[in-house]
Each structure stands twice: as C-alpha cells, then as structure tokens.
Amino acid sequence: MSSQVRGIIRVAGRDLNGYQPLVAALSKLRGINYNLALAILNNIKIDPNIRLGKLSDQQLQLIEKALKNAQSLGLPNWMLNRRKDLESGIDKHLLESELELQVKQDIEREKGLNSWRGLRHAYGLKVRGQRTRTTGRKGLTVGVRKTVLVAAAAAARQGAEGAAPQGQQAPAASSTPQQGKPAPSAQARTEEKKV
C-alpha cells in the first residue's frame, strides 16, 4: 500500500474518487450496490474501509478481476443482476455500459413483442403498476377553471362577436326565443350575470 492517497482512480472504465472508503467508491459503479461491493471485498480479503486511493496497482487489478467475474467468487445467485439470461441461460453480472446496453435491448424486445410492458415503455407511461391518476404527469399543468373566469371569458368573446358597425343592428343571438319573448342580446346577458 502506498502512503499517499491518489485523487482519481480508474476502475472498470470509470473514474472514482480516491478519497472515499473503498466500499463506498465501488458502489458508485453502475451495477454494483453497497452490499455487493462489501461481499466482493470480503471475499478477496481487502479492508472495505480503506481509502480507494491508497490501494496498490496489484490490489486494483484484483478488484477489477473480481468485479468482472462476480459469479465465480461463490456469491449467491440472488446478488447477481442478470440471472437466467434469455440467450445463454446462465447467471451473469453486468457492469456499466454492458448493463445499459442490455436494459435497452430488453426494452426494445418488449416493444417488438407488443407486450403490455412494451406498450407502456413505448407510450412513456409507468411500467411497474404504479398509480398514474395523480403522478407521472408530463407537459402543461391541467387544472380546474373557476366558473367566474369562464363566464367572464365567454362574455368578452360574445361581446367582441356582437359588436356591429355603427348604423347597423347587431345580429340576433343564436338562442331561440322562449314563450314569444325576443332573445336577449349579448350585452343584456352580461348585465344580468353581473347582477
């Protein structure tokens, strides 16, 4: 082990903070959580609380080899993230870009099958049975319009339509007269609403 701490260490194709404890730094890798990192470090007999930047090159190579072959360390299958792969049928553990690519391929396969999950992915909706009545809304806010504002907007719109040039009479409203009475004009209707 070297005495000084290196600031940035490259592990599994990603730069990690050398000042963090080893188990916390490894859990920053995509596909490695805290418990799996702890299990791997305990299996290869490296102290999980030592700083990542204090490790020697041989120890880093040992960690990378263990990360790439997590299933060969004798860990239980439920700790792996790709069990019973569809193509090969074996248990695997994927990291970083391999994991992202595999997830994308799985989603595209579901879409191609027109399964329920594939359709939910295609429409951008929630896939795992969450509620969608109140959450997961995208786009503009949809709210309830207050009746006072609706009435004012309708009156303004009808007032603009009902305005006629001077010397001409405004066109009659489209509503039918009731019991022989003439239909009130748009201006009379707005005055009634104000009262």
Which option is the CATH number for 8-79: 3.40.50.300, 1.10.8.50, 3.30.470.20, 3.40.50.720?
Answer: 1.10.8.50
Average pLDDT, the chain: 81
Judged by average pLDDT, the poorest of 118-127, 149-158, 163-172, 183-192 is: 163-172
- 3-state secondary structure at position 102: helix
pLDDT digits (tens, 9 = 90+) for 89-141: 888 888 888 888 989 999 999 999 999 999 999 988 899 989 988 888 877 66
Contacts of 160 (CB under 8 A, 6+ apart): none
- Cα separation, 12 vs 65, in Å, equals 9
Listing DSSP states for 147-163 in one string gives HHHHHHHHHHHHHHHH-
- Mean pLDDT throughout 26-42? 89
Of 151 and 106, more confident: 106
Q: What is the pLDDT of residue 118?
A: 93
Give this prediction's pTM. Answer: 0.58
pLDDT of residue 190 exceeding 90, the answer is no
- Mean pLDDT throughout 49-73? 86
